[in-house]
Amino acid sequence: MSSDKLMELTDANFEKEVLQADVPVLVDFWAEWCMPCKMVVPTIEQLSEEYDGKVKVGQVDTDTNRDIAIKHDITAIPTLMVFKGGRIVRKFVGVQQKSDLKAAIDEALA
């Protein structure tokens, strides 16, 4: 992760940083070995910069944070979810267009 706006989300901090957040949160469930996951990273980093202060953006490494991945039924990666008020409001599986992710974030901000 190269953007300083991109959070590392873990089993330990997920509830505080995502479920209890007072702003929408875009979560990228990924793994180091996953090539499609690596394709999503530049988009996720751009969104973390563009929405700085309005939305949290973070990544969950599903290899090292299995509990949270299992709890959210992650069966394929990359999976991207937009949370608002502790609830999942949008879920995407696979590589996504930036415009689709922006639309989901904007909807959560409305």
Known catalytic residues? 34, 37
Domains and CATH numbers, the chain: 6-109 (3.40.30.10)
Structure tokens at 99: 């415009």
CB of 26 within 8 A of CB of 18?
no
Q: What is the pLDDT of residue 6?
A: 87
**How confident is the prediction along the chain (110 residues), in pLDDT tens digits per residue?**
456 788 999 999 999 999 999 999 999 999 999 999 999 999 999 999 999 999 999 999 999 999 999 999 999 999 999 999 999 999 999 999 999 999 999 999 99
Structure tokens at 16: 């505080």
Structure tokens at 49: 């910069």
89, β-bridge pairs = none
Burial class (CB in 10 A: 0-12, 13-18, 19+), 21: middle
Sign of torsion, CA 103 105 107 110? negative
